[in-house]
Structure 1
Amino acid sequence: MSSLKQVDVSKLTESDIEMLAARLEKDDYTDAFEGLNDWHLLRAIAFQRPELVEPYLYLLDLEAFDES
């Protein structure tokens, strides 16, 4: 998998998501931008194909905010 702009989310498999999540969990990137790119990719997948990301939602740390 490469950058977000080059990934067709509709073609990703459970195995692809598993590898992405493993990289995020390991957090062993050469620079902060690589990790951020993976995080943004996982987030994009969560919006487009939430069933694939469900086991890894904890990596996104998404919370509902009440701004009232």
Structure 2
Amino acid sequence: MNTLSISKNQIATMTAQDVETLATRLEQDNYGNAFEGLNDWHLLRAVAFQRPELVESYVHLLDLEAYDEA
């Protein structure tokens, strides 16, 4: 079993087109197994934290919600 390893360099070199392709795969949800989709989701989430400008249009795929801990 392989583990997912996402490097900062990999994210730094991603283009808007790369993120669009990634988001399209997630929206279509046509994976051979659940782990492939989960890997894409983790990659999109990592991009969202490091380069949020690339993910603005796809935040709905991450299911991130603001909440108040108070």
RMSD: 1.6
- Given the two structures, how large is their TM-score scaled by the length of structure 1? 0.87
More helix by percentage: 1
- Aligned pairs, how many? 66
Identity %: 64
Structure 1 counterpart of 2:26: 24
Structure 2 alignment gaps of length 5 or more: none
1:37-56 map, 5 Å: 37-56=39-58
Aligned mates of 1:4, 1:11 — CA distance in 2: 18
- Given the two structures, how large is their TM-score scaled by the length of structure 2? 0.85
Structure 1 alignment gaps of length 5 or more: none
